[in-house]
Amino acid sequence: MRLECLTLREIHLPLKEPFRISSGIQRSRRILLLQLEADGVAAWSECVAPEEPNYCSETIDTAWHAIVHWVAPRVLDRSFASAAEVFPALQHNFRGHLMAKAAVEMGIWALTAEQRGVSLACLLGGTRNEVEVGISLGIQVSPGALVERARRALEEGYRKVKLKIEPGADVEYVRAVRTELGPRAPLMADANNAYSLDAAEPLLRLDELDLIMIEQPLAWDDLRQHAELQRRLRTPICLDESITSVERAREMAELGSGRVINIKPGRVGGFAASIAIHDFCAAQGIPVWCGGMLESGVGRAYNVALASLPNFTKPGDISPSSRYWERDVVSPEWSMHDGMMTVPAGRGIGVEVDQERIEQLTVRRVRLGSREAGRQGGKDVDRHD
Ligand code: OSB
Ligand code: MG
């Protein structure tokens, strides 16, 4: 595999409904899409970095910079015997920028699948042809509004309903949903770092509400305090932000910081790291599930393929296109039937990207390629603001 050309594009896509979490609100998405070309095949990938540094330190703008200046030069025109070799090459003396690295690394997995004529899920070692679907609900204006939103989600067939919480919108909200929707409703909560160990009282009260898990209650980079909290809770803690590598997953297991991991391939640097975490957790009996970052249909294809691996044993935050967008950028759009999503069996990512639509939505673009290396320092910049 030898990457010849990489095109970065930013598109803007408005969300159907605002998505509020404890660390910020999202009304519309600025999405970084990549087009990769090698040996006569092409693939699209997505960088999941958000607009603001309120999830991790990366943003779409830092990722754009990192890909252009540091990631692309390491992979363009260089031969890799397999996609698994890309991540080590990107990690060597190159700290952080995991979402930027992941976008390119995952694109190379997709290119490899294209080249071999197999599905991305098959290349990754997926064993399922459909995956269970969950929904992540943002913080609502009142407990009653959350109950109605959660009720609708269960009626639509979602297999897991994740409720975003923050101090002031926690116990009362979650208890209302539990009371109204019954003891069997598959509920969990996600705090996105909104609590501290010395103000953990609401979390101890949530412990009585039979949640499947509580996701990332404490600091985004913490493992030690989560271990202390887990000792006080019977509800499993699921880590999201804190798990950035297989080493962090191992530390979580050793310290007892949590009992479940939400794997987002973008957060950990791509598929090689995701598979390493998946395999480590499988060996330890730690369940994992696939998280989401409000991806377009392109990034969703990567999440669905990953979620087809055997130890993804809980429903992922991989809702259908219509949960996010009036119209997605892929066809067919991602859909759900009976709370399940089909893992595409076709070659590559398994969905077609609507190139004309993406062209219309593009607000900036840069094409990088070894063949243009003589001109403009290898960059062909267009509407770069
Ligand atoms: O914490 O899982 C999270 C979205 C943006 C940033 C962080 C998170 C989320 C979600 C959305 O929960 C999941 C989805 O894509 O549907
Ligand atoms: Mg989360």
293-334 pLDDT tens trace: 999 999 999 999 999 999 999 999 999 999 999 999 999 999
For residue 374, what pLDDT band results from cuts at 50, 70 and 90? Answer: very low
Strand 160-164 and strand 187-190: pairing?
A: parallel
Kindly report which listed range (22-26, 41-45, 262-266, 375-379) carries the lowest average pLDDT score: 375-379
Close Cβ partners of 213 (under 8 Å, ≥ 6 residues apart) = 188, 235, 236, 237, 238, 259, 260
Q: Is 288 left (phi over 0), alpha (psi -120 to 50) or beta?
A: beta
- CA 102 → CA 28, 55, 96, 272, 281, distances in Å? 22, 16, 11, 9, 20
The answer to whether residues 195 and 224 touch, using CB atoms and an 8 Å cutoff, is no
Counting ligands in written order, which one lies closest to the CA of residue 22? 1
The answer to whether residues 300 and 321 touch, using CB atoms and an 8 Å cutoff, is yes
What are the helix and strand counts (H, E) for the chain? Answer: 15, 16
The answer to whether residues 127 and 306 touch, using CB atoms and an 8 Å cutoff, is no
Residues of 240-261 as b/e, b for ≥16 C-beta within 10 angstroms? bbbbbbbebbebbbeeebbbbb
- Residues 9-67 have pLDDT tens digits of 999 999 999 999 998 999 999 999 999 999 899 999 999 999 999 999 999 999 999 99
Catalytic residue, candidates 162, 264, 314, 379: 264
User: Ligand 2 centre from 57 Cα, in Å?
Assistant: 15
Q: Which two tokens stand for residue 334?
A: 């991602």
pLDDT greater than 80 at residue 384 = no
Scan for tokens 């160990």, then name that residue.
Answer: 197
Q: Using alpha carbons only, give the angle 193, 196, 201 rounded to the nearest 5 degrees.
A: 115
pLDDT at 172: 98
- Residues 86-105 have pLDDT tens digits of 999 999 999 999 999 999 99
pLDDT at 39: 86
User: Ligand 2 centre from 215 Cα, in Å?
Assistant: 6
Cα separation, 353 vs 301, whole angstroms: 11
C-alpha of 92 from chain center: 24
pLDDT greater than 60 at residue 373 = no
Examine the residue annotation and report whether 164 is marked as an active-site residue of this protein.
yes
Work out the percent of the chain whose per-residue pLDDT is above 90: 95
Q: What is the mean pLDDT of the chain?
A: 95
- Residues 125-168 have pLDDT tens digits of 999 999 999 999 999 999 999 999 999 999 999 999 999 999 99
The ligand 1 atom nearest the CA atom of 190:
1
Mean pLDDT along residues 196-205: 97
Helices 246-255 and 224-232: angle between axes, nearest 10 degrees: 40
Cα separation, 160 vs 319, whole angstroms: 11
The answer to whether residues 340 and 158 touch, using CB atoms and an 8 Å cutoff, is no
Ligand 1 neighbours (beta carbon < 6 A): 55, 136, 190, 192, 240, 291-294, 317, 319
User: Ligand 1 centre from 239 Cα, in Å?
Assistant: 13
For residue 371, what pLDDT band results from cuts at 50, 70 and 90? Answer: low
The answer to whether residues 326 and 16 touch, using CB atoms and an 8 Å cutoff, is yes
Cα separation, 275 vs 290, whole angstroms: 12
Mean pLDDT along residues 346-358: 96
Cα separation, 111 vs 106, whole angstroms: 9
Q: Which two tokens stand for residue 131?
A: 């995956």
Q: Which two tokens stand for residue 333?
A: 């759009």
Strand 134-137 and strand 160-164: pairing?
A: parallel
Nearest CA to ligand 1 atom 14: 292
Q: Which two tokens stand for residue 276?
A: 């390493």
The answer to whether residues 193 and 22 touch, using CB atoms and an 8 Å cutoff, is yes
Close Cβ partners of 156 (under 8 Å, ≥ 6 residues apart) = 336
Choose among 322, 357, 344, 287: nearest CA to 131.
Answer: 344
- CA 332 → CA 26, 298, 319, distances in Å? 25, 11, 14
Of 47, 136, 193, best ligand 1 pocket probe by most atoms within 8 Å of the beta carbon: 136
Cα separation, 45 vs 111, whole angstroms: 10
For residue 376, what pLDDT band results from cuts at 50, 70 and 90? Answer: very low
